[in-house]
Amino acid sequence: MSQTKHRPQVAIICGSGLGMLADTLKCQDSFAYSDIPGFPQSTVQGHAGRLVFGELKGKTCVCMQGRFHMYEGHSLCKTTFPVRVFKLLGVDTLIVTNAAGSLADGLQPGDIMVIKDHVNFPGMGGLNPLTGPNDDKFGPRFPAMSGCYDKGLRCVAMEVAKQLGVANIMQEGVYAMVGGPNFESIAEARLLHRLGVDAVALFPLMDEIII
């Protein structure tokens, strides 16, 4: 922290195709993951592997330009390590973005889904970054997931979409995480759809759980 004057309250994890958001931060200080002790390295194409501090619309933010996935071979502890670092930096709002496959009838390729709830299939099977001794300074032993996706922030997102004239490509939905790296078979996609899942992807939920 001695190398940046920024003290962010908001962290944004940029998924595939969204890394350029970090490039728009004003008064930037950026750090390659390879220069940060304990950080894993990005191996996914298009994930730059940089932590960028700066101002976005007057808010001090830190952006992950590239995230870590279980399918890259990282342990869950490693993939979620940056979120613990954010907590220690004083971040209290985490915005997680990623590319996902849509299953809902009304969601077209390129649309935006705001997550209102999730189904964590690996987590339900016991694969969870909170496994092991609990460090109470990061949160309780048994965190509730019912308030995981802040209603106020979701309303702001929908309101801003209206103001920008993109509300027609944005809706709320239920998101499921699967292990990957293969995408779903047709039968699996049908099953998820019948279970009430609107979009499916390969990782991010673990970040929400750890904060």
Ligand X SMILES: O=P(O)(O)O[C@H]1O[C@H](CO)[C@@H](O)[C@H]1O
Ligand Y SMILES: Nc1nc2[nH]cnc2c(=O)[nH]1
Q: Residue numbers of the site for ligand Y (CB under 6 A)?
A: 99-101, 178, 180, 183-184, 200-202
Q: Which is nearer to ligand X, 71 or 138 (CB)?
A: 71
Q: How distant, in Å, are the alpha carbons of 37, 62, 81, 91, 195 from that of 85?
A: 11, 11, 6, 9, 35
- Total Cβ atoms within 10 A of residue 201: 19
Smallest distance, Å, CB 46 to ligand X? 8
Smallest distance, Å, CB 195 to ligand X? 19
Residue 200 contacts which entry, ligand X, ligand Y, none (Cβ below 5-8 A, type-dependent): ligand Y
Q: Which of 98, 130, 205, 206 binds ligand X (CB under 6 A)?
A: 98
Burial (Cβ within 10 Å: 0-12, 13-18, ≥19) of residue 110: exposed
Residue 81 contacts which entry, ligand Y, ligand X, none (Cβ below 5-8 A, type-dependent): none
Residue 72 contacts which entry, ligand Y, ligand X, none (Cβ below 5-8 A, type-dependent): none
**86 is a contact residue toward ligand X (CB under 6 A):** no
Q: Among 146, 198, 194, which Cα is nearest to 172's?
A: 198
**69 is a contact residue toward ligand X (CB under 6 A):** yes
The sign one gets for the Cα dihedral 50, 123, 84, 11 is positive
